[in-house]
Amino acid sequence: MNQTQAGPAEANDAEQAADLLVTVASTLNERLAVTARELARSQAMLREASEELMTAFRGAADRIVAAQREDVADHGGKNQQYGPVLDHLYRAVQHLQSHDLVNQLIDAQKLRVDKMREKLLEALSLASPPIAEGAQAGQWIERSRAMLDCIVAGIAQIDADGRLPRSDAKHAGSVDLF
Amino acid sequence: MKTILAVDDSATMREMVAFVLESAGYRVIEAEDGAQGLDRATASSVDLVITDQNMPNMDGLTLVRSLRELRDYKNVPILLLTTESSDTMKAQGRAAGATGWLVKPFDPATLLEVVQKVLR
């Protein structure tokens, strides 16, 4: 194979590789769009349930704290009858926290998905400008490289977000006093 | 009545902490991030600070460092209440001047025990 024949063949391979990358990026973007919708739906359901629970909890909590204060003001001491009620409310506190933490985790995952989708769309936009008929392999390779750089940057920025909540069931509730 | 400053960007978490502490007879003031926490701490006299770590505007460790620079807060106990549980983060907390580190979700009885202990 001489130089003049190898050029168009290489260019053809490079063009196919670039097309494949576009297909992969658009398919991934579509799948992530579905994931984003499902996450939003799950979060909406969880939020609605949490709000209902919080309203019920708030009613009970406000009432018992107010009753305790009145009792202390009237009798100068704590009434033992609040103990069992507080135990129930304390158990609710633990579960309501879990709802809140799951909500935060979903928020964080939504953010990750959105950031990745932004980068995928940016990568796809790089594939939009037409490349002239008979273009060199190098032009296609350059385009593919730019798209890949964009996707890799998307992956990197997902992990770079220090504000994502960590979930670690093993250490939940642990205490260290320094 | 001892006053406790609860700093967390989650309203639910602040409400949970406030309820548990108020039910045990403490007065609670709330702030939704480190910057507001610092403002509240300087505007009122606080006996204990309980703060989350990951918050917008100012995180928990920065709040601890900022409070430790204030004369009134050199010896006030400060607890981190966070989902973060790595040894590295805890070491940073200790170096910043935190009194203790609690991992969410917290057990109300344990929180009250710790609060009583550090306020003693």
Kindly report the pTM of this predicted structure: 0.78
C-alpha span between B95 and A4 (Å, rounded): 67
Beta bridge partners of A176: B101
Residues of A in contact with B108 (CB under 8 A): 90, 93-94
Q: Is the peptide bond before A84 cis (omega within 30 degrees of 0)?
A: no
Other beta carbons within 10 Å of B31: 23
Angle, helices A82-126 vs B108-119, to 10°: value is 100
What's the pLDDT score for residue A2?
45
Long-range CB contacts (within 8 A, 24+) of A168-175: A168/B83, A168/B85, A168/B103, A170/B85, A171/B85, A171/B103, A172/B103, A172/B104, A172/B105, A173/B102, A173/B103, A173/B105, A173/B106, A173/B107, A173/B110, A174/B85, A174/B102, A174/B103, A175/B100, A175/B101, A175/B102, A175/B103, A175/B110, A175/B114
C-alpha span between B16 and B27 (Å, rounded): 14
Range of the domain at B14: 3-119
What's the pLDDT score for residue A95?
87
Which ipTM did the prediction report?
0.84
Inter-chain CB proximity A173 and B103 less than 8 Å? yes
The total number of structural domains that make up chain B: 1
What's the pLDDT score for residue A1?
42
Confirm or reject contact between A105 and chain B (CB < 8 A).
no
CA distance A168 to chain B (A): 7
Q: Is B102 exposed, middle or buried (0-12, 13-18, 19+ CB in 10 A)?
A: buried
Residues of A in contact with B58 (CB under 8 A): none
Inter-chain CB proximity A72 and B108 less than 8 Å? no
Q: Decide which of A72 and A145 is more confident.
A: A145
Confidence of residue A4 (pLDDT cuts 50, 70, 90): very low
Confirm or reject contact between A167 and chain B (CB < 8 A).
yes
Residues A47-71 have a mean pLDDT of 88
Task: Dig out the tokens for B117 from the structure.
Answer: 């202990």
Q: What is the CATH number of the domain that holds B95?
A: 3.40.50.2300
Inter-chain CB proximity B83 and A165 less than 8 Å? yes
For residue range B75-106, what is the model confidence (pLDDT) as tens digits? 999 999 999 889 999 999 999 999 999 999 99
Nearest CA in chain B to A47: B12
C-alpha span between B91 and A4 (Å, rounded): 65
Confidence of residue A116 (pLDDT cuts 50, 70, 90): very high
Residues of B in contact with A176 (CB under 8 A): 90, 100-102
Residues of B in contact with A172 (CB under 8 A): 103-105
